[in-house]
Amino acid sequence: MTDIAVETTKQTMPAAAAPLEKTPLEIYVPPAQPSLVGLSRAELADCLGEVGVPPAQRRMRVQQLWHWIYVRGAQSFDAMSNVSKELRARLAERYTLARPEVVVEQVSSDGTRKWLLRLPGEHPGERPHEVECVYIPETDRGTLCVSSQVGCTLTCAFCHTGTQRLVRNLTPGEIVGQVMIARDRLGDWNDRDTPSGGRLVTNIVMMGMGEPLYNFEAVRDALLIVADNEGIGISKRRITLSTSGVVPNIARTGAEIGVSLAISLHAVRDELRDVLVPINRKYPIAELLEACRTYPGVSNARRITFEYVMLKGVNDSLDDARQLVKLLKGIPAKINLIPFNPWPGTAYECSDWAQIEKFSEYVFNAGYSSPVRTPRGRDILAACGQLKSETERLSARERQALRAMAMTD
């Protein structure tokens, strides 16, 4: 693993507090020929109506489309052998099965893969709308880290994504599309009609770029498609949504999506969390933890994960560990310690390994599972918090060259 060079200006406590949020830019312009990826069954039925399918046939046709799109991963209507040639042609005139475009694919020395994806909708002369999506293979699972926004409106002090200016919400199709791309690129579709074991993408984490609960409806609709057992079929227990703490949408996440919840806690005192995770000024720790206590479906069998990034000299003392254990009392919780992943220009440093171990041991002895998240894909800036469309900085020519490379892979 090649660790990246980091320009650090030594500073343990951050200086001035960052602004709470950047202004969101809702600048999505739908493509002339829309993709059917990410539409609900009802929306698919409407599309079939648009191309002249009579109401009585729509349900059956929706089932066929759903199967071809989400079980077989069809990339063109031509593949749909049980749909008449004539209907396939009418669909192809109006719609596509497009996913986001892969601009660059990078493979880390540890097998992690990162895709830079380009989304439609930019105006001439504007920066491209891009997100990153990361696949992390492990012995017993394969986890896909999915983005919910281009950039992030929030400005967590230690997060690379938070420094990105351009922000727009992803559509459900662009969120589901990331799962489709991973299956396309990994050859992970079910190409027969039989159910398959041995899938590569087994788990989804909404831990890529963006704050998923600031794009609630699209994230909900997309995750319900990903979990649908007549399609992609990744169970809700294997889907985790991570939030920095948008308290009003936490209960809705449990009730309307029903996936596992992870909370980016990172500090045990409001003064520090106000700086590290500025949304804390709006929804402080006590309110956040109350939302966790009452999270629909939470139980000892379905614990909430508390993420805690280890920042040297900032939040990593044993006193912090003690307070953490005290705070989480009564909440079915797991604690996930994340070694800080540096990025060019950050002032933070990762805690020493010995300190991470001491912290973890304290938390473990207090009765919490406290795995330390192994940084994956650091050499390709694919680890937690390192995502930021790197090509933001490249010239048009360099971008074109990278795109050509991705096409010939």
Among 39, 71, 146, 156, binds ligand SF4 (CB under 6 A): 156
Closest CA to 135 of 112, 166, 159: 112
The residue among 120 and 210 lying less far from ligand SF4, judged by its C-beta, is 210
Close Cβ partners of 350 (under 8 Å, ≥ 6 residues apart): 310, 311, 312, 339, 340, 341, 342
Judge contact between 281 and 300, C-beta under 8 A: no
Q: b or e along 72-91 (b: 16 or more beta carbons within 10 Å of the residue's beta carbon)? A: bbbbebeebeebeeebbebb
Closest CA to 189 of 72, 292, 308, 304: 72
Hey, which residues does 204 pair with through a beta bridge? 144, 239
In angstroms, the CA 112 to CA 348 distance is 24
* Under rule CB under 6 A, residue 154 binds ligand SF4: yes
Among 130, 307, 316, 320, binds ligand SAH (CB under 6 A): 307
Close Cβ partners of 393 (under 8 Å, ≥ 6 residues apart): none
> What single letter denotes the amino acid at residue 232?
I
Among 132, 174, 188, 211, binds ligand SF4 (CB under 6 A): 211
Q: Distance of alpha carbon 194 from its chain centroid, rounded?
A: 29
Contact flags string 158-177 toward ligand SAH, x per CB under 6 A = xx------------------
Closest residue to ligand SAH: CB criterion: 385
* Under rule CB under 6 A, residue 309 binds ligand SAH: yes
Q: How far is the CB of 206 from ligand SAH (least distance, A)?
A: 6
- Catalytic position from the list 47, 211, 384, 390: 384
370 binds, among ligand SF4, ligand SAH, none (CB under 5 to 8 A by kind): none
Q: How far is the CB of 162 from ligand SF4 (least distance, A)?
A: 3
- Catalytic position from the list 130, 132, 211, 349: 132
> CA angle, 295 as apex, 177 and 204 as ends, to 5°?
25
In angstroms, the CA 121 to CA 110 distance is 34
The residue among 207 and 324 lying less far from ligand SAH, judged by its C-beta, is 207
Q: Which alpha helices (DSSP H) does 237-371 contain, by range?
A: 250-252, 270-276, 285-293, 318-327, 353-365
**Could you tell me which stretch among 59-67, 150-158, 189-197, 300-308 binds ligand SF4 (CB under 6 A)?**
150-158
Containing 176, the helix (H) or strand (E) segment is helix 172-186
Phi-psi region of 212 (alpha: psi -120 to 50; beta: other; left: phi over 0): alpha
Cα–Cα separations (whole angstroms), residue 78 to 18, 54, 65: 51, 21, 12
315 binds, among ligand SAH, ligand SF4, none (CB under 5 to 8 A by kind): none
Contact flags string 121-160 toward ligand SAH, x per CB under 6 A = -----------------------------------x-xx-
106 binds, among ligand SAH, ligand SF4, none (CB under 5 to 8 A by kind): none
* Under rule CB under 6 A, residue 264 binds ligand SAH: yes
Concatenate the DSSP letters of all residues of 28-71 into one string.
Answer: ----SS-B-TT--HHHHHHHHHHTT--HHHHHHHHHHHHHHHHT
The residue among 181 and 265 lying less far from ligand SAH, judged by its C-beta, is 265
Told to judge if 138 belongs to the known catalytic residues of this protein, a careful annotator would answer: no
Among 35, 108, 112, 161, binds ligand SF4 (CB under 6 A): 161
* Under rule CB under 6 A, residue 244 binds ligand SF4: yes
Among 45, 116, 145, 159, binds ligand SF4 (CB under 6 A): 159
* The pair of three-digit structure tokens given for residue 123, joined into one six-digit string: 């105006």
* Under rule CB under 6 A, residue 80 binds ligand SF4: no
The footprint of ligand SAH on residues 317-336 (CB under 6 A) is none
Cα–Cα separations (whole angstroms), residue 287 to 114, 115, 371: 35, 36, 26
341 binds, among ligand SAH, ligand SF4, none (CB under 5 to 8 A by kind): ligand SAH
Told to judge if 130 belongs to the known catalytic residues of this protein, a careful annotator would answer: no
In angstroms, the CA 145 to CA 103 distance is 17
The residue among 66 and 340 lying less far from ligand SAH, judged by its C-beta, is 340
309 binds, among ligand SF4, ligand SAH, none (CB under 5 to 8 A by kind): ligand SAH
Active site amino acids = 132, 384
- Contacts with ligand SF4, residue ranges (CB under 6 A): 152, 154-156, 159, 161-162, 210-211, 244, 264
- Contacts with ligand SAH, residue ranges (CB under 6 A): 156, 158-159, 207, 211, 242-244, 264, 307, 309, 338, 340-341, 384-386
